[in-house]
Amino acid sequence: MLVYQVVFILSPVWIIMAQNQPDGPEEKDRTSTALKDLLSRIDLEELMKKDEPPLKFPKTLEEFEYYFNEKGQLRHTKTGEPYVFNYHEDMQRWNQKRYEALGEEGYGVIVLNTNENYIEVEEPQKPEQSSANDTDEPVEKKEKKDDSQKETKKQRNIYEKYRNPQKEKETKHIPIRDNSTPEEHAFYVWDHFISRSSAKNVVFVAHSYGGLVFLELMIQREAEVKSKVISVALTDSVHNVWHQEAGKSVLDWMQEHCRNWVSSSEPLDTPVEFMLPDCPRVSAGTERHELTSWKSFNSIFKYFSQALEAQNTETKPKSTVITRSYNRKKSEEL
């Protein structure tokens, strides 16, 4: 429709100019220049704004009346239908702005790579030093000795390559500043990014040694973590609350806000007994350690959704219910 409006506006002008156009080349050039000038004055952006609703959109996914189902698909809360881009026909600009607003769901993701704590660089080869008596040896004997040394070195390199195929060259490890251990890396990311973010509700997913790293972060930054983190999902975590000396306040918080999906032959989400007084443990639905995160993915996000709903319920202001006894009491006080 917008395209037809533009054509409709230009057509009468083009007809009039064509009727009055002389045959001379100079006049044709002037006419062409005038037409280009006319086109340059037309603000297509303003034309697209005509009759479109205000660019005011909801701030959350719930206000958009959309949610993600168990398969991770975006669906309408009332109709169950997928997202409709052309909400208003012939309003491409407005539909695009609405789509962009929906894409801003209030979520951010940070992936911590706690295993990358150093860079590996190749060691420069040291020059071979010849013995002092080499100069006095006959040429033939020296050449034979060099060949023997080269063969010995070759055999040693073959053996080293067979024994350790990953180490074909001599290398050295240079620690990454402030990130030389998994724990240091977690502290650095928390101090420089997560704690400074505007996010109000933070959730963690920590696999294997990542659970130990999170517990250490919890111990060292307890007050800060409690103020921002609302839920933690561990997958086959190897943390140990006794060895890491977690205090009672940390243990109480973990009991309420953490859950550990462990490798087990039991069906997914089946409670698993454990002696230590840390977070509850449930089955990840697999006995393979490396698959625990993937197998428990849907359960983890259900767990997060419940924690977020509980958090929103707690933060809502409580309304005062006015009753007859309340009015009578106020009257007596007066």
**182 touches 115 (CB < 8 A):** yes
| Structural domain includes residue 9 | yes
| Structural domain includes residue 89 | no
| Structural domain includes residue 107 | no
Euclidean distance between CA atoms 64 and 81, whole angstroms = 13
Q: Which domain holds residue 244?
A: 182-315
Residues 321, 326, 331, 333, CA torsion sign: negative
The structure's pTM equals: 0.59
- The pair of three-digit structure tokens given for residue 47, joined into one six-digit string: 């034309």
| Structural domain includes residue 300 | yes
- The pair of three-digit structure tokens given for residue 166, joined into one six-digit string: 């990953």
Catalytic residues: 208
Q: Is 183 left (phi over 0), alpha (psi -120 to 50) or beta?
A: alpha
Number of domains forming the structure of the chain: 2
Q: How many CB atoms lie within 10 A of CB 114?
A: 19
**100 touches 88 (CB < 8 A):** no
One-letter amino acid of 146 = D
Q: Burial, 92: exposed, middle or buried (Cβ in 10 Å; 0-12, 13-18, 19+)?
A: middle
Alpha helices in 79-138 (DSSP H): 92-103
Radius of gyration of the chain (CA): 35
| Structural domain includes residue 226 | yes
pLDDT in tens, the chain (334 residues): 333 333 333 344 333 444 555 556 677 777 777 777 766 666 555 555 556 778 888 888 888 888 888 777 889 989 999 988 888 877 888 888 888 888 887 778 899 989 889 988 887 766 655 555 555 667 666 666 677 777 777 767 666 666 666 555 678 889 999 999 999 999 999 999 999 998 889 999 999 999 999 999 999 999 999 999 999 999 999 999 888 989 999 999 999 999 999 999 999 999 998 878 889 999 999 999 999 999 999 899 899 989 988 887 776 655 444 444 445 554 455 4
| Structural domain includes residue 251 | yes
Residues 196, 199, 201, 203, CA torsion sign: negative
| Percentages of the chain per state (helix, strand, coil), in multiples of 5 | 50, 10, 40
State in Å, rounded, how far the first CA of the chain is from the last one. Answer: 68
List 202's β-bridge partners, or say none. 229
Length of the chain: 334
| Structural domain includes residue 233 | yes
| Structural domain includes residue 310 | yes
Q: What is the DSSP string of 233-271?
A: EEES----TTTTT--HHHHHHHHHHEEEEE--SSPTT-E
Q: Which residue has the tokens 């767990």?
A: 303
Compute φ and ψ for 37, nearest 5 degrees.
-65, -40
Longest Cα pair distance anywhere in the chain, in angstroms? 123
